[in-house]
Amino acid sequence: MLKALQKIDITGPVGKLETIVIPAVGDTTGIAVICHPNPTQGGTNTNKVIQTAAKALSQLGYVCYLPNLRGVGDSDGEHDYGNGEVDDVLAVIAHAKAEQGELPLALAGFSFGGFVAARVRERIDADKLLLMGVAVGKYAIPTPHVPADTLVIHGEADEVIPLSAALDWARPQHLPVVVFPEAGHFFHGRLVQLAAMIKRCW
C-alpha cells in the first residue's frame, strides 16, 4: 500500500513553513527539497510543475519536501525575492535530515524556485540539482553558476524566461540545457514528458 502525503509545519527562521511531504515509493534512498515558483504571481507548493517533479523523484526513492516559503500560503513572514528564502530552504533541509537521516540530498526548483535552489546549492553541498524554467536575469542578485551535472530543463517557447536568457546563463558554464520544443514556461500539456525526462536523466 502506498504511503499518503503529509502536510507538516517546519520551524523556519521567521516562523512556520507549511510543507507538503511526499513519501518515497518503496525504500527511501534520498531526500529532495523542491521550491515553488514566484508567489507574487500565484506560485505555491501545489504548483503542477513541482508536483510533477516530486512525483517523479518519489518514484526514484526520494522523500520529497515541498515548502511554502516565507509569506506564501500559511507560512509566516514576507516574500523576500529569493534572499531569506534561501535560509528557509536550509531550515527545511535540516528538518528533513533530522527526520530521514544523512541520505543523499537533491535540490530542485521551478522558475523562482530554481533561482532559490541554485542559491542554496551555492551555500551547501548536494548530490543533485534540478532546475526547470529557472528564473535567470529576473532578480538583483544573478543566478549563480551551478555544478556541471545539474539537470536544466527549459521550454523553447518560454514566455516568462526566454530560452535565450537561459542559454546566455548556461553558455559560460558549458552547461547543457534540455530544451522542450514548443513548450511554454508552465510546460502545459508536457508534464508527463517532463516527469519521464527527469526519471531518464537522473
Q: Give pLDDT tens digits for 33-43.
A: 999 999 999 99
Is residue 3's pLDDT more than 80?
A: no
Contacts of 40 (CB under 8 A, 6+ apart): 79
pLDDT at 2: 53
pLDDT at 1: 43
Three-state helix/strand/coil letters over 64-119 = EEEECCCCCCCCCCCCCCCCHHHHHHHHHHHHHHHHHCCCCEEEEEECHHHHHHHH
Q: How far apart are the first and last CA of the chain?
A: 25
pLDDT digit string (tens) for 126-158?
Answer: 999 999 999 999 999 999 999 999 999 999 999
pLDDT at 96: 98
* Mean local confidence (pLDDT), 169-192: 98
The residue behind cell 507538503 is 20
Q: Quick one: DSSP state of residue 139?
A: S
Q: What percent of the chain has pLDDT over 90?
A: 98
pLDDT digit string (tens) for 53-108?
Answer: 999 999 999 999 999 999 999 999 999 999 999 999 999 999 999 999 999 999 99
pTM here is: 0.97
pLDDT at 4: 82
